[in-house]
């Protein structure tokens, strides 16, 4: 297949591009490089340095390349920033998806794989979270992802809607060389602390009703996630799939794993952050059944080991 990957120079996108090429697909990438890095892309694939809201530029891309399917990852993804700048998030994540959908339909593309997020579930009261868990996003980011899901369905595409839980790790074979800029998630922060870029890691909340009092989340390795995207291309009906490992790791367990990989570093217990759910994890059985997919890397030490070379 000839697959257009939007946001292909980003953290997850660059892994999806590698997985597509490994599987024998052709790839075209669109990215405005606002957070992505072109050094993480093979130099011999067509690359459009373009904003997905730029109708004319998208049209030119579709005129030049005959696209069979789109994997749409381009988006803004920082929850905190989305609360401060809702206009940016509605513009890129919703209007950008609208322009892309319009030009894709015009070009006759039938299939979309969409990067959605567990953020559409908000603060789920029960785990495991299934695809039937009610949608109740609690951030502008989560709302824009929910709107993106609906928009693509209303445009009539065959939509494989992938709701990722927390994505971690890097290509274990070392083909990605530039780490995410200004990471805001736990695992990159652990790595930055492990190599001394940060002085200490703060654990926000140690009195939750969880195994060790710290928050628990489902962390899925980016290489496993990329595999799911490739398999999603073979589906011919719209479907929503949760992508997680189906188990929660606590913040403290992740800290210990990072210390096993990097050695000791300073850790500070801090008060809870408002709005952080205590614990949630995915039920990924629908993805297992439909895609024959199961996360292969589930040990946090192994996950962090794949990240270490990018931070040294
Ligand atoms: N990282 C996670 O844990 C996670 C979890 C759930 C969902 N997601 C979703 O996965 C997707 C990829 O996330 P990521 O972690 O790789 O983030 P990222 O910021 O590394 O990737 C996003 C890419 O999109 C590009 N981009 C942003 N705005 C654009 C625009 N207007 N036009 C063209 N390109 C644009 C960026 O330059 C970047 O390369 C996003 O849609 C995100 O919402 C990520």
Give dist(CA 118, CA 124) in Å, integer.
9
Q: What is the mean pLDDT of the chain?
A: 97
H or E segment and range at residue 4: strand 2-6
The residue whose CB lies within 8 Å of the most ligand 1 atoms, and thus the one to mutate among 4, 12, 28, 122, is 12
Interval 208-221 mean pLDDT = 97
**For residue 166, which atom of ligand 1 is closest to its CA?**
3
Cα–Cα distance measured from residue 1 to residue 258, given in angstroms and rounded to the nearest whole number: 39
Residue 41 near residue 175 (C-beta atoms within 8 A): no
Pocket, ligand 1, Cβ cutoff 6 A? 7, 9-13, 30-36, 51-53, 73-75, 77, 92, 96, 115, 117, 164, 166-167, 180
Question: Once rounded to an integer, what is the mean pLDDT over residues 199-228?
Answer: 97
**Predicted pLDDT of residue 144:** 98
Does 89 score more than 90 pLDDT? yes
pLDDT one-digit tens code per residue, 49-65: 999 999 999 999 999 99
Torsion of CA 14, 20, 26, 30, to 10 degrees: -30
> What mean pLDDT is predicted for residues 5-15?
98
**In the chain, which residues fall in CATH 3.90.25.10?**
186-217+246-311
What are the tens digits of pLDDT across the range 27-48?
999 999 999 999 999 999 999 9
Q: Where in the chain is the domain with CATH 3.40.50.720?
A: 2-168+220-243
User: How far is the C-alpha of 194 from the C-alpha of 308, rounded, in Å?
Assistant: 9
Q: Is the peptide bond before 128 cis (omega within 30 degrees of 0)?
A: yes
Helix axes 186-194, 300-311, angle to 10 degrees: 60
Note the pLDDT of residue 181.
83
Residue 91's pLDDT is: 98
* Rounded-to-integer distance, Cα 261 and Cα 257, Å: 6
Per the confidence metrics, is the pTM higher than 0.85? Answer: yes
CA pair distance 123, 113, nearest whole angstrom: 25
Measured by CA distance, the residue closest to atom 26 of ligand 1 is: 74
Q: What is the pLDDT of residues 245-295, one digit of tens each?
A: 999 999 999 999 999 999 999 999 999 988 888 999 999 999 999 999 999
- One of 3.40.50.720, 3.30.70.360, 3.40.50.2000, 3.30.365.10 is the CATH number of 2-168+220-243, namely 3.40.50.720
Q: Which residues are catalytic?
A: 141
Residues constituting the chain = 312
* pLDDT tens track for 157-192: 999 999 999 999 999 999 999 999 888 899 999 999
The predicted structure's pLDDT at residue 252: 98
Q: Which CATH architecture has domain 186-217+246-311?
A: Alpha-Beta Complex (3.90)
Residue 29 β-bridge partners:
5, 47
């Amino acid at each position: 297949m000839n697959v257009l990957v939007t946001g292909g120079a980003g953290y997850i996108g660059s892994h999806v591009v590698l997985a597509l090429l490994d599987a024998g697909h052709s790839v075209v990438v669109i990215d405005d490089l606002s957070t992505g890095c072109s050094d993480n892309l093979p130099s011999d694939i067509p690359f459009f340095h373009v904003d997905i809201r730029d109708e004319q530029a998208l049209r030119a891309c579709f005129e030049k390349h005959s696209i069979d399917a789109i994997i749409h990852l381009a988006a803004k993804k920082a929850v905190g920033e989305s609360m401060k700048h809702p206009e940016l998030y509605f513009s890129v994540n919703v209007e950008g998806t609208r322009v892309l959908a319009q030009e894709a339909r015009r070009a006759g593309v039938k299939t979309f794989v969409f990067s959605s997020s567990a953020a559409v579930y908000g603060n789920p009261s029960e785990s495991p979270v299934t695809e039937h868990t009610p949608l109740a996003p609690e951030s502008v980011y989560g709302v824009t992802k929910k709107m993106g899901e609906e928009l693509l369905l209303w445009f009539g595409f065959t939509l494989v809607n992938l709701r990722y839980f927390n994505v971690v790790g890097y290509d274990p074979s070392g083909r990605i060389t530039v780490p995410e800029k200004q990471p805001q998630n736990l695992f990159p922060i652990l790595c930055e602390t492990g190599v001394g870029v940060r002085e200490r890691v703060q654990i926000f909340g140690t009195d939750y009703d969880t195994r060790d009092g710290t928050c628990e989340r489902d962390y899925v390795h980016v290489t496993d996630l990329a595999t799911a995207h490739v398999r999603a291309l073979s589906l011919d009906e719209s479907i929503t799939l949760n992508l997680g490992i189906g188990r929660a790791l606590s913040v403290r367990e992740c800290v210990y794993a990072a210390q096993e990989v990097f050695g000791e570093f300073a850790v500070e217990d801090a008060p809870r952050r408002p709005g952080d759910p205590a614990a949630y994890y995915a039920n990924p059985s629908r993805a297992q059944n439909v895609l024959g997919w199961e996360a292969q890397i589930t040990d946090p030490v192994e996950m962090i080991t794949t990240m270490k070379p990018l931070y040294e």
